[in-house]
Amino acid sequence: MDSRLLNIGFGNAVKISRILAVVNPGSSPIRKLKDDARVEKKLIDVTEGRRTRAIIILDSGHLVLSSVQPETINQRLLALELEQRHLVGLSDKIQGEVVHE
């Protein structure tokens, strides 16, 4: 299980393994989802009063409102994924060198 955290703005972070989707808040179905989450007390607002630019949907049914653009969040996720792959590749390479010695 991945315990790394993703920065979603203003010092707030979400556990990567809990993220199902990062969506733009503009569409009508997403606004309805947001309203339902508010009623169910499953809405987490970390915008600090700024405009909501992304909604992060978690596996627990919670929605996280962020003022960071969805594209930026996706780039951060990709960077963390590439970093993880690089570290795994290095680990495999080091283990392979140890076995051959």
Structure confidence by residue, pLDDT tens digits, 7-66: 999 999 999 999 999 999 999 999 999 999 999 999 999 999 999 999 999 999 999 999
48: alpha, beta or left? (left if phi > 0; alpha if psi -120 to 50): left
Query: Which of these, 68, 55, 60, lies nearest to 21 by C-alpha position?
Result: 55
0.75 exceeded by pTM: yes
Under a CB-based contact definition with an 8 Å cutoff, are residues 21 and 77 in contact? no
Position 94 scores a pLDDT of 77
Under a CB-based contact definition with an 8 Å cutoff, are residues 3 and 14 in contact? no
Report phi then psi at 27, rounded to 5. Answer: -80, 155
Position 100 scores a pLDDT of 53
What is the distance between the alpha carbons of residues 87 and 79, in angstroms, rounded to a whole number?
12
The whole-number average pLDDT for the span 74-101 is 79
